[in-house]
Amino acid sequence: MTDDLRFRRPVEADHPQLVGQVDDWWGGRNLHQIFPRLWLQHFTGTSWLAEDTEGHPIGFLVGFISPDHPEEAYVHMIATSPNHRRAGLGRLLYERFFDDARARGARRVTAVTWPGNRVSVGFHRAMGFRPADGQGTQNLYGTPAYADYDADGDDRVVFRREL
């Protein structure tokens, strides 16, 4: 796997191609709405793009160190091409981000996902994240989650991982 890909920081010029793919990569959900161009204007120093040998994007992660909580890193989106899944690419992207976060002094990573996204829930658990399960959470789709977290009907699992 690692012989067939290379990692680099994304740049703004990558946005049109990536934003055109995210709905497909998320199985038809309207994910382009949460991936405006600003992510590749202001957060590239802690984000990663994986390409195949021909330079086609096959995975990306956009994340940052929290300006309000410098001990906390936050992953906004992570995805791999449907043709390259279960081969360790998502794990490699996260490991690069963990290294970025540690190097900048962060102590933990947060990632928020929809509890019905079983692939994302399984992936984050496999990456060492644990769901917040304290006050205000309830079992949704088998995972502790906050109902109406982002808006009415927008339930979320809040995953945390220590570094």
Ligand X SMILES: CC(C)(COP(=O)(O)OP(=O)(O)OC[C@H]1O[C@@H](n2cnc3c(N)ncnc32)[C@H](O)[C@@H]1OP(=O)(O)O)[C@@H](O)C(=O)NCCC(=O)NCCS
Site for ligand X (CB under 6 A): which residue of 16, 88, 136, 142?
Answer: 88
C-alpha 143/C-alpha 28 separation (Å) is 23
C-alpha 93/C-alpha 130 separation (Å) is 18
Site for ligand X (CB under 6 A): which residue of 21, 110, 120, 143?
Answer: 120
C-alpha 95/C-alpha 37 separation (Å) is 24
Residue nearest ligand X by beta-carbon distance: 90
Complex with ligand X: residue 135 or 151, whichever CB lies closer = 151
Pick the stretch among 36-44, 101-109, 113-121, 139-147 that binds ligand X (CB under 6 A): 113-121
Scan residues 20-39 and list those touching ligand X (CB under 6 A).
25-26
- DSSP 8-state code for residue 83: G
**Residue 90 buriedness (CB in 10 A; 0-12 / 13-18 / 19+):** buried
Which residues of the chain form contacts with ligand X (CB under 6 A)? 25-26, 77-80, 85-91, 113, 117, 119-120, 122-123, 126
